[in-house]
Structure 1
Amino acid sequence: MSLFSWLRAKKPRLDEAQQQRLAELRGPSALGHGTLRSQRWVVVDLETSGLNLNRDQVLSIGAVVIEDGAVDFSQMFERTLQRTATKLSPSVLIHGLGPSAIAAGSDPVDALLDFMAFVGDSPLLAFHAPFDQHMLGRALMDSLGYRLTHTFLDVAEIAPLLCPEANIREAGLDDWISHFRLHVGERHHASADALATAELMLILFSRARQQHIDTPQTLQERLSQWKRRKQAPSF
């Protein structure tokens, strides 16, 4: 086997029905000038076998939809992916994903096709989004040969952008939940964490409108400007 053939990624094997579903997936829409309220947002949270970006795998996906200024409880998503050959780290057990739950999970190809059909052309929100974006993107490429190009916005960055007075810039989700005195149910599994993130995001959308950030595109632009200022060297 040559070096180049070893480096070449294996092409996923999809049956005819799965190939048809893959072909029917909608591509992302650009963030537009409509209102924040009118935009359909998908809030996603992943549970993974660990934190290694290149080795660990997605074990479960939870997502909820924000639309018309509220969480739409008729649009919720939750799947555990079958990963029979995956070695679980002790932290996975915190999320209730033991070996039996994972062995009984959905086929990863079908679960990921279901999720991307659920997402449609909507932008995604996540807390610490770069991790979720990378892990989801790698799972989609490995299982479907699908390149994820949807917009991801990071709630962990939006919160300090809009609430600088909180002075908890490096905070986790629990810190922001406590700051706003949100009453959330159970935590630490994908769908519950996605819902908690969505409830936080509703507050942040209200803060955005108060600061005359009225469109998804404006929010993305302000976030990019804030990140550049934060990364700029100080003299």
Structure 2
Amino acid sequence: MSLFAWLRPPGPSLNPAQQLAVQRLQDPAPLGDCSLRQQRWVVLDLETTGLNVNRDLLLSIGAVVIEDGAIDLSQQFECTLRRSGHKPGPSVLLHGLGPGAIAAGCEPADGLLDFMEFLGDSPVLAFHAPFDQRMLGRALKDCVGYRLQHTFIDVAELAPLLNPQTVLREASLDDWVGHFGLQADERHNASADAYVTAQLALILLSQARRLGLDSPALLMERLNQWRRRQRMPSL
């Protein structure tokens, strides 16, 4: 055995069914030239023990699907992950996931693999997507030894890109929901937040089509241009 093999930390221990599930996961599809309406989008929201992407834990996953220009209520995902020894912190006041809910959750590897099967090869939409991407990616690596490579698009960036005339001081999800007059009867629940994010995303995708950005590839190209402009120092 090589020295590097000795130094390499052991991977997660998976049972045969979990190993087979990992092997069956689809590779992400590249963003293509199909219309935005034809693209299957998975809108994701996570609840976590906190905001530290290197230390905090993923507690629950909520997701809905946008397809054919609408939220497909027949395609929804929700699960809470069991976290042994987890002690509730201040974040429980937001997401409401107390010890009972966490103890009744599913095995983390099973929940994560179920979500990845639900995700398939689709791109992900999320509000503050880099946080969700890093938290989900770390959980997948730690629990199932899987490297997340799917495309994540940040709805928090799409909104100002497509609405440059709108000035919001904090530009939170609640701010954009209020700006467009959307209803958010419940918040800080992964499934509820995914649903309201999907409502906002539908408006933004419609705006993108009207601007001629009618493919995932074109939308991402424009978003990357916008990001570069945001990083340029103001004169």
Amino acid at match of 2:119: V
C-alpha spacing 1:177/1:6, structure 2 compared with 1 (3 Å): farther
What does residue 186 of structure 1 align with? 186
Alignment partners' CA distance in 2, 1:145 and 1:228: 33
Alignment partners' CA distance in 2, 1:6 and 1:230: 45
What does residue 118 of structure 2 align with? 118
Runs of 4+ in 1 over 2 A off after TM superposition: 4-10
Q: Deviation at 1:170? A: 4.2
Deviates further, 10-19 or 27-36: 10-19
Amino acid at match of 2:81: L
Number of equivalences: 233
Alignment partners' CA distance in 1, 2:105 and 2:205: 35
User: Deviation per CA, 1:101-154, whole angstroms, max 9, x where unpaired?
Assistant: 001100001000000000000000100000000000000000010000000000
User: Unpaired segments of 5 or more residues in structure 2?
Assistant: none
Alignment partners' CA distance in 2, 1:138 and 1:9: 15
Query: 3-state SS of the aligned residue for 2:75?
Result: strand
C-alpha spacing 1:57/1:7, structure 2 compared with 1 (3 Å): farther
Query: 3-state SS of the aligned residue for 1:84?
Result: coil
Alignment partners' CA distance in 2, 1:31 and 1:169: 32
User: Unpaired segments of 5 or more residues in structure 1?
Assistant: none
Deviates further, 70-79 or 8-17: 8-17
Amino acid at match of 1:232: M
1:52 aligns with 2:52: yes
Q: Deviation at 1:94? A: 2.1
Contact 2:87–2:99 under 8 Å retained in 1:
no
Q: Deviation at 1:8? A: 3.8
1:89 aligns with 2:112: no
Q: CA RMSD in A?
A: 1.6
User: Deviation per CA, 1:45-81, whole angstroms, max 9, x where unpaired?
Assistant: 0000111111101000000000000000000000000
Query: 3-state SS of the aligned residue for 1:166?
Result: coil
What does residue 79 of structure 1 align with? 79
TM-score calculated relative to the size of structure 1: 0.95
Q: Deviation at 1:221? A: 0.4
> Identity over the aligned pairs, expressed in percent?
64
Alignment partners' CA distance in 1, 2:7 and 2:155: 35
Q: Deviation at 1:185? A: 2.3
Q: Deviation at 1:5? A: 8.6
Query: 3-state SS of the aligned residue for 2:43?
Result: strand
Contact 1:50–1:92 under 8 Å retained in 2:
no
Q: Deviation at 1:93? A: 3.0
C-alpha spacing 1:8/1:54, structure 2 compared with 1 (3 Å): farther
Alignment partners' CA distance in 1, 2:195 and 2:15: 33
Q: Deviation at 1:169? A: 6.8
